[in-house]
Amino acid sequence: MPVGSIPVGITGTGICLPERVLTNQELEKMVDTSDEWVKTRTGIGERRIIDETMTTSDLAVKAGEMALENAGLTPDAVDLIVVATVTPDMYFPSTACLVQEKIGAIKAAAFDVSAGCTGFVYALAVASQFVQTGMYQTVLVIGAEALSRVIDWGDRNTCVLFGDGAGAVVLRPVDQGFGILSLELGSDGSGGELLKLSAAGSLCCGIPGTSGKESRAGYAEYLQMAGSEVFKFAVRIMGECAANAVLKAGMTNGDINLFIPHQANIRIIKAAAKRLRLPDEKVYVNVAKYGNTSSASIPVALHEALLEGKIKKGDNIALVGFGAGLTWGAGVIRWAV
């Protein structure tokens, strides 16, 4: 944290998970896969899926309202809303603006952040600076995804991995020595082709003299991923990035009380924990229940860890994620409440 800046920490958390549970056994009836195959390779047993009436902003609203309630605040106290998502309700307006209206945060500015599954860490880094500088007192940061809407349910390599959900945190000034102690962000655009949704945006849409369908010809309308390449990248970068954030916070790995990684794949999580030399009891894992919820992954895990009593005031929490872009990010937080 820069010298002279205001310490900022998380004072409330919230989540929203759809009621619909899609199990591996159900997927066996949809694609050529098996419960054993999915669990062995990913650690995922089930995931949550929104129904036809819900959108990403609906998930974000419920998570945000819970976070505010747990922080003892009302929506009119919010100065800024930052939503991390790769599945917005629409291209514009931003999902954050839709959330602002739905929760009645009449004073709040609002914008979205897109950094793939690293989105929450990126949003945390951006939002925290508004509090550190004194520009704002209260910022609502939400990671929300409706990935089921961009998945090819006939592709067993991707449909088994992803789920829907939202997680939110409230950022406020905290006592000296607490809150966000370090943040580490990175990107490598040369890996952009490894994880993408291409049939959208100026790359292919609205070409003069063609219909919309013709413009999108040859571009995928669903998420595409080069699984093995993304896996190798993640195994390397998760531990490396987290280790850098720990070092930047002036700590050693032994100072970390709980490690909350992006919940993408149990093998990636174990590789990162090994890199940090952390025992299983210091690593929070819920990938079996929800699969990969992208930018919602870390805040959902953080909220559940709090509910389970795994975090107390003064604990040092390390967060790390990786995602499309390619992007990565990590942070260390000394819990303040």
**What is the number of domains present in the chain?**
2
Q: 258 and 169, same structural domain? A: no
Q: Domain check: are 134 and 184 in the same one?
A: no
- Give the CATH number of the domain where residue 60 resides: 3.40.47.10
- pTM for this prediction: 0.95
The reported pLDDT for the residue numbered 214 is 52
Split at pLDDT 50, 70, 90, the class of 23 is: very high
What is the per-residue pLDDT for 208?
A: 62
Q: Classify strands 80-84 and 20-23 as parallel, antiparallel or unpaired.
A: unpaired
- Is 265 a known active-site residue? no
Residue 275 belongs to some domain of the structure: yes
Which pLDDT does position 202 carry in this prediction?
73
Residues 6+ apart with CB under 8 A from 244: 184, 330
Q: Determine how β-strand 139-145 pairs with β-strand 80-84.
A: parallel
Q: Count CA atoms closer than 13 A to 158's CA, side-chain side.
A: 21
How far from 53 is each of 10, 18, 47, 57, 96, CA to CA, in Å? 31, 11, 18, 12, 19
Across the chain, mean pLDDT equals: 94
In one-letter notation, the amino acid at residue 69 is: E
Residue 1 covered by a domain: no
Residue 206, in any domain of the structure: no
Please check whether residue 12 lies inside any domain of the structure: yes
Tell me the Cα Rg of the chain. 19
User: Which residue out of 204, 262, 265, 316 is catalytically annotated?
Assistant: 262
**Cα-based distances in Å from 143 to 140, 158, 246:** 10, 20, 23
Are residues 171 and 47 located together in one domain of the fold?
yes
Write out 4-60 in H/E/C secondary structure: CCCCEEEEEEEEECCCEEEEHHHHHCCCCCCHHHHHHHHCCCEEEECCCCCCHHHHH
Point out the catalytic residue in the list 24, 70, 97, 117: 117
Question: For the segment 315-328, what is each residue's pLDDT rounded down to a tens digit?
Answer: 999 999 999 999 99
- Is 292 catalytic? The answer is yes
pLDDT at 300 over 80: yes
| 266-279 residue pLDDT tens | 999 999 999 999 99
Q: Quick one: CA torsion of 247, 249, 254, 256, rounded to 10 degrees?
A: -130
Give me the catalytic one of 70, 265, 292, 316. 292
Distance CA 319, CA 121 (A): 8
147 and 234 co-located in one domain:
no
Residue 198 banded pLDDT, cuts 50, 70, 90: confident
Which residue pairs from 174-177 have beta carbons closer than 8 angstroms and sit at least 24 positions apart in sequence?
Answer: 174/7, 174/8, 174/9, 174/11, 174/336, 174/337, 175/7, 175/336, 176/7, 177/7, 177/334
Same-domain pairing of 132 and 243: no
**Domain for residue 215, yes or no?**
no
- In a shared domain, residues 233 and 258: yes
52: its two tokens:
């036809």
Which pLDDT value is given to residue 190? 97
Is 212 contained in some domain? no
My answer on whether 17 and 125 are in the same domain is: yes
Average pLDDT on 235-243 reads: 95
- 204 located within any domain: no
pLDDT digits (tens, 9 = 90+) for 144-197: 999 999 999 999 999 999 999 999 999 999 999 999 999 999 999 999 999 998
Give the pLDDT band of residue 203 (cuts 50, 70, 90). confident
Report whether pLDDT(283) > 80: yes
The dihedral through the CA atoms of 312, 313, 315, 320 has a sign that is positive
| Nearest C-alpha neighbor of 266 from the set 279, 283, 241, 246 | 283
Q: What is the torsion angle, in degrees rounded to the nearest 10, for the CA atoms of residue 23, residue 147, residue 268 and residue 336?
A: -100
**Average pLDDT over every residue of 63-85:** 98
Q: Catalytic residue at 257?
A: no
Label residue 101 by pLDDT band (50, 70, 90).
very high
Q: What is the pLDDT of residue 206?
A: 59
- Give residue 96's pLDDT band: very low, low, confident or very high (50, 70, 90): very high
What is the separation of C-alpha 195 from the centre of its chain, rounded to a whole number of angstroms?
Answer: 16
pLDDT at 199: 64
CA dist., res. 301 & res. 23, Å (int): 20
* Residue 207 counted as domain residue: no
Residues 196-207 have a mean pLDDT of 70
What integer pLDDT is reported at residue 89 of this predicted model?
97
Q: Are residues 172 and 243 in the same domain?
A: no
Residue 242 has pLDDT above 80, yes or no: yes
More confident residue, 2 or 87: 87
Query: For residue 140, is pLDDT > 70?
Result: yes
Q: Which pLDDT value is given to residue 210?
A: 57
**Domain identity same for 232 and 171:** no
Which pLDDT score is estimated for 207?
58
Q: Are residues 226 and 168 both part of a single domain?
A: no
Same domain as 240, residue 103: no
β-bridge partners, 40 = none
Query: Do 142 and 250 reside in the same domain of the chain?
Result: no
User: Sign of the C-alpha dihedral, residues 280, 328, 149, 97?
Assistant: positive
Residue 49: which domain range? 8-177
